[in-house]
Amino acid sequence: MIISHLRAFIKFKGDSFLLPSQNPLSSSRFSPHAALLASLLHSNSFSNNGDRPLSRYQKVANLDDAFNLFDEMTQRRPLPSVVKFNQLLNAVAKMNHFSCSLDLFKQMCLIGVPVNEYSMSIAIKCCCQMSRTNDGFALLASCFRRAVVPNVYIFSTLLDGLVIEDRILEAENFFKKLIKQKLCEPDVVMYSTMIKGLCKFGNNDIAIGLLRLMDERGCKPNVVIYSTIIDSLCKDKLIEDAFKLFKEMVFAKGIQPDVITYNSLIHGLCNLCRWDEVSKLLKEMEEDLRISPDLHTFSILVDALCKEGRVDEAEAVIDIMVERRVVPDIVTYNTLIDGYCLRGEMTKARTLFDSLTSKGFVPNVVTYSSLLNGYCRSLKIEEAMHLFHEMTRKGLKPCIVTYSTMLQGLFRVGRCGAARKFFDEMQAQGLIPDECTYGIILDGFCNNHQVEEALSLFHLVA
DNA sequence: TTAGGGTTAG
């Protein structure tokens, strides 16, 4: 159903000058809902946002270029404006080199560049993205010394840092304090950050309450806010509530959904195996709204089909992706490898794994863990061990899932001693066992008639 | 001229 729908749409795209209702492949006529959706979409989609060409400071391609440019800037007299420094700082942060960006910020301060609220917010974001939100707050304190007045950008970034670190109570208190003490008026981004935090901790109802409140306070919710809550409801399998909110967003509020909104809904339906509705939604987004599925959409479909054991169809989806010039990424391939592994098709999994390099991909910790899991499930523990050592040799750091997978495999073949060693090694690496790890260990010892060992571990935990 | 939020894999 999904495959045939996606195939049909390739042909449909070829005739895209036709209105959906005129297209012979479109099974239903344009519904009033679809017409409204389409009018919403087309009314805003061609606005010019006035993009300027990027400056040389924003265009740096790699770290070396960034450092060279920074050095050159610091030699100039007079010094370039803080704007140029900020652009470079941000470009480095965008490359996910947060620590380097922070170093550049510190150097800016040392050489006397008059840093402003833009520089501060970039530096604070770097701290937060590295889970060093406390350092971000230290920078906030330094704003006062530097005569920089913190604004809603800076506060939102810090709030997001608390959410990233799962410090939800502190996030809530910080948010309330900002409002109560009138330190800033929250805008749509700050509300969305708070709502994301609430959703992350399962407080969907409070998140919806905040959505109502922001509206009452005159801050209009947008597609990001709605999509955040819709996604959370979908993840909690509250799909009817998600669709209710989706309809409210589109029909009552006149906010157009985008591909991210649809991806969340499609994912939610996939998790419930409601395939007919997945097809319907794909059709609606493509034919009525002209929103093309993207890499995420395809990865969600590939993953869902693999989990259902429908690996052949998952392969077909990847073929369709390629035909539509959506380039699969490592996530797509990891999903497929996992699909083969779950079906015990280790030769296929291995062949795909081995072909990744020639496709231009570097296997990551998830790729290795998936393949390891396949070997462990097939009781090919030596192959799993070999792969484990290969990944560490290549400089990949096994994570808690990798270790847990190995532990499960070792217990399956009765190698409790080796499992214990892995468990100790894992802790020596600074990895903290999670509930899943303990479950595997307890099961493993018990199934191998070493209840005492299991109990001793349990007492250790308790 | 420069800064903040939502979707995918083990």
Q: Which nucleotide does the CA of A184 lie closest to, via C1'?
A: B4
Which CATH topology does A28-164 take? 1.25.40
Parse chain A into domains and list their residue ranges: 28-164
> What does the block give as tokens for A80?
């370039």
Q: What residues contact A369, with CB distance under 8 A and at least 6 apart?
A: A398, A399, A401, A402, A405
- Residue with CA nearest to B7's C1' atom: A260
* Residue A363 backbone dihedrals phi, psi, to 5 degrees: -55, 135
Q: Measured from the CB, is A101 under 7 Å from any atom of strand B? A: no
A279 beta carbon to strand B: under 7 Å:
no
CA-CA-CA-CA torsion sign (A380, A381, A386, A387)? positive
Other CB atoms within a 10 A radius of the CB of residue A9 amount to 20
Q: SS3 for A431?
A: coil
Instruction: Give the pLDDT confidence of A53-76 residue by residue, as tens digits.
Output: 899 999 999 999 999 999 999 999
Per-residue confidence in pLDDT tens, chain A, 462 aa: 777 777 765 444 433 322 233 332 233 322 334 343 344 334 443 334 457 889 999 999 999 999 999 999 999 999 999 999 999 999 999 999 999 999 999 999 999 999 999 999 999 999 999 999 999 999 999 999 999 999 999 999 999 999 999 999 999 999 999 999 999 999 999 999 999 999 999 999 999 999 999 999 999 999 999 999 999 999 999 999 999 999 999 999 999 999 999 999 999 999 999 999 999 999 999 999 999 999 999 999 999 999 999 999 999 999 999 999 999 999 999 999 999 999 999 999 999 999 999 999 999 999 999 999 999 999 999 999 999 999 999 999 999 999 999 999 999 999 999 999 999 999 999 999 988 999 999 899 898 888 888 777 766 655
Measured between alpha carbons, how far is A105 from A281 in angstroms, rounded to an integer?
A: 46
d(C-alpha A372, C-alpha A378), whole Å: 10
Does the C-beta of A408 come within 7 A of strand B?
Answer: no
Within 115-134 of chain A, which residues have Cβ less than 7 Å from strand B? 116-119, 121-122, 125
Q: Please list, in sequence order, all residues whose beta carbon lies within 8 angstroms of the beta carbon of residue A99, skipping any fewer than 6 positions away.
A: A126, A130
Would you say A299 and A331 are in contact if contact means Cβ atoms under 8 Å apart?
Answer: yes
